[in-house]
Structure 1
């Protein structure tokens, strides 16, 4: 790739700045995000122009638009530190992360409730079994004594014992 003219470089820098302002305002293309790749694509320049280059002797030099990439990253960082979310997908990711955390908390509470209810059920069943065993034992004991008599069954046309009617 050859050298570009200074007029073309100025046009590219202007296109990059316009695109940078648009992306930082949250006007993102479909499928794009607020990053250097989208900036380069939307401005119509190669992404490699934003990064340092190596000379043949191994030394590095600035890429033609590296200063604009650094400005873009600096402005993006400043917006994020100010609490503004430029990329709606990042906002959605943050919202979904918060929802996942909330759901995990609710799940932990439900699991704790299940453990408590299972313990309560086991205790209730064991108490019912103990009460049943006691009732059976008392019935057998009552049947063993001959001086205990059962009450006569109530006739359907009369009121039960102890009734006020």
Structure 2
């Protein structure tokens, strides 16, 4: 079915208006920032955007503007923005978990080494005490006495 030039202009205006709404982030419920939603919002057949169809140049313009927004760091579709944010958060959490696990492993190894050293030192102390008690004549020195010196006043 052929459309008149006036109908085609009206359709292009509706498509451009819908394109502007989608790129501003005004995504309808159940839609995305894509050609399918653009066609639905403009009330135009989606196939008119492909190949040599009448609105293929508008699809190219839509894709170009969408890419420009994405390269500028803006994501018009709130769901896509949330997905990107959550993916980045998952990556950060995985890196944090990996660092935590390596820290835990290092601390567990340190604990094992510290306990082994303490056990070896305790064993050495027990052996030294046993050797000191029986065979070696060790004389214990008397404890140091504290002497109090009083200084009188000079007159």
Q: When the two structures are superposed, what TM-score results if normalisation uses the length of structure 1?
A: 0.75
**Aligned residues, how many?**
144
Answer 1 or 2: which has greater helix percent: 2
1:95-114 equivalences under 5 Å are 95-114=85-104
The yes-or-no answer on 1:70 pairing with 2:60 is: yes
Which residue does 2:75 correspond to in 1? 85
1:37-48 equivalences under 5 Å are 37-48=36-47
Which residue does 1:128 correspond to in 2? 118
- Residues in 2 aligned to 1:163 and 1:117: alpha-carbon distance in whole angstroms: 46
* Runs (5+) with no aligned partner, structure 2: 147-155
Which deviations, in whole Å up to 9, do the C-alpha atoms of 1:14-45 show, x marking residues without a partner? 21111111111111112211110110111112
- Deviation of 1:135 (Å): 2.2
- Residues in 2 aligned to 1:30 and 1:91: alpha-carbon distance in whole angstroms: 16
Which residue does 1:153 correspond to in 2? none
* Runs (5+) with no aligned partner, structure 1: 53-61, 151-160
- Residues in 2 aligned to 1:137 and 1:147: alpha-carbon distance in whole angstroms: 16
Which deviations, in whole Å up to 9, do the C-alpha atoms of 1:62-120 show, x marking residues without a partner? 11211111111122122223332212222212222221222122112212211220121
Q: Kindly report the root-mean-square deviation, in angstroms, between the aligned alpha carbons of the 2 structures.
A: 2.3
